[in-house]
Structure 1
Amino acid sequence: MPQIDRPEYISDEYLTDVIRTGLAEDVGDGDVTSLATVSPDTRAEGDFVCKQDGVLAGLSVASQVFRMVDDSIGVSWKISDGANVRAGDVAGTVRGPAISILTAERLALNILQRMGGIATMTREMVDAVASYRTKILDTRKTAPGLRLLDKWAVLLGGGTNHRIGLYDMILIKENHISSAGGIENAISAARKYANNSATPLKIEVEVTTLDEVRRALRMGGIDYLLLDNMTSVDPDGHLDTSLLTAAVELVDGAVETEASGNVTLETVTRIARTGVNNISCGALTHSVQALDISLLLNLHD
């Protein structure tokens, strides 16, 4: 995978705030265990060891955690963000005052494990659809306060960011359609709002039936159709994609399509086979399996 630079939405101020909040809730007035048991003169060095295969993510954030606790701590990485790792690989090393390293350790590992878990699952899904022109998208189903880190991790896994929040794209969903009095009213109102917006706004409409697809296309002026839950699993556990396939054929390239619902590592290839442009998966960020990484320290005076 190509090297992914820090995205524009990750500002220095955001990183500082996230780390400061994390340290405040974890460290409070001080790491009393380390202060009680470790001499201030004790130095430590250690390795970040990967305990499973996966994708590394969040290295620069983890480094900043250590620097914000104690800027005399040195962290060096042997493997880059977004790289595949194998169980047993040493990702990097840390050196400095033992108390400071022990104080920063948990938050740094939490970030590496969460971002690595997201990047790993994303990479697996991206690889599963590699034979098709289908992008894997994230969603807004992220951890409160960590959305931008979660979305950065998706990029590092080879995925694509959907909208960042409620402010950068119009996505008309079922409840909006109901509140507006129908899909036509909702699209008309959205187009008017977008035309008067000071910043460009794409419009996406959620549809669940072929009739809704036709009605949305007749209205025009939209950029994407979200084909929601147009797959189903039969009693034998097989995925039925016939409705989704029909919807993609009906759209026929008029707008970009996005499939959601029933998206797992086991089903994503079948869904991509329908010809849909994008597949969004909330599980990338709402059901994260942490990447197992440990910090093994050696202490010395």
Structure 2
Amino acid sequence: MQRMSGIATLTKAMADAAYPAYMLETRKTAPCLRLLDKWAVLIGGGRNHRMGLFDMVMIKDNHISAAGGVSNSLKAVDLYLEQRNLKVEVEHVIEDKIWLRPWFLISLFHFYQVETRTLEEVKEVLHYASQTNTSLTRIMLDNMVLPLPNGDVDISMLKEAVQLVNGKFETEASGNVTLDTVHKIGQSGVTYISSGSLTHSVKALDISLKIDTELALKVGRRTGRA
């Protein structure tokens, strides 16, 4: 309860600051507590990222390097999905509605996301998508929020990336996300902001149960139960 309360409290603060963007956690949850950690994020007003490796296609930087580039990695995933008749079904977020993804439907991917680190990679993704019938649904804009010496952040690169995407795909900002920076990031136009700190290093809420014997006796005498 204390851990979940800590997660929900931090999520609430970050989700409010991030508006109109939605706040996401990551897979960096405590061992054996993933469902509870993600539930706490929902309670706090956030939204859930993937549950595991089975409910979302996510192309990370290592995959891109191994495949020999962004286009090659996208092509490989699209071919894999087509050959195995696996479908990508986007879940549209409904505000003020708490839901848990049906993670047990392993034949259905809910998102298909690629990580980009530069504007050139964003342009490559968009070019690939314009030439193919890709199932891609979301573009991660990783570390496009640059920290400044004064503690502020520069989001100009992030805003340019969002403008390039121009609503063709969902966008997700990741990297250098804190309670101090999340509001500014949320004003960039991104759909989502993800932060592992919601679950991997959250401070548990200090909850204790105290019995006030004097008050209990007063109530008991008044009600005839003491």
Q: TM-score range by the shorter chain?
A: 0.7 to 0.9
Secondary structure at the aligned position of 2:208 is classed as strand
The answer as to 2:116 corresponding to 1:207 is yes
**Residue 102 of structure 1 corresponds to which residue in structure 2?**
none
Q: How does 1:227-266 map to 2 (within 5 A)?
A: 227-266=141-180
In 1: Cα distance, 2:108 partner to 2:204 partner: 36
| 1:123 aligned residue (3, 9, 12) | 12
Aligned-residue RMSD, C-alpha? 1.4
Secondary structure at the aligned position of 1:126 is classed as helix
Q: What displacement does 1:292 show? A: 1.3
| 2:51 aligned residue (141, 164, 188) | 164
Secondary structure at the aligned position of 1:292 is classed as coil
**Residue 202 of structure 2 corresponds to which residue in structure 1?**
288
Which residue identity does 1:129 align to in structure 2?
Answer: A
Is 1:203–1:223's contact at 8 Å kept on the other side of the alignment? yes
State which structure, 1 or 2, has the greater radius of gyration over its C-alpha atoms.
1
Structure 1 residues 238-281: Cα deviation after superposition (integer angstroms, max 9, x where no partner): 20001001000010001000000010111001001110110001
**Residue 135 of structure 1 corresponds to which residue in structure 2?**
22
Gaps of 5+ in 2: 87-106, 214-226
Secondary structure at the aligned position of 1:262 is classed as coil
Which residue identity does 2:35 align to in structure 1?
Answer: L
In 2: Cα distance, 1:206 partner to 1:197 partner: 24
Q: What displacement does 1:200 show? A: 2.9
Gaps of 5+ in 1: 1-111
Structure 1 residues 32-87: Cα deviation after superposition (integer angstroms, max 9, x where no partner): xxxxxxxxxxxxxxxxxxxxxxxxxxxxxxxxxxxxxxxxxxxxxxxxxxxxxxxx
% identical equivalent positions: 54
**Residue 113 of structure 1 corresponds to which residue in structure 2?**
2
Taking CA–CA contacts closer than 8 Å with sequence separation of 6 or more, which of the two structures ends up with the larger relative contact order?
Answer: 2
Q: What displacement does 1:185 show? A: 1.0
The answer as to 2:98 corresponding to 1:190 is no
- Which has the larger share of strand? 1
Structure 1 residues 73-127: Cα deviation after superposition (integer angstroms, max 9, x where no partner): xxxxxxxxxxxxxxxxxxxxxxxxxxxxxxxxxxxxxxx1000000000000111
Deviant stretches of 4+, over 6 Å: none
| 1:180 aligned residue (49, 59, 67) | 67
Q: What displacement does 1:181 show? A: 1.5
What is the TM-score of this pair, normalised by structure 1?
0.60
Secondary structure at the aligned position of 1:296 is classed as coil
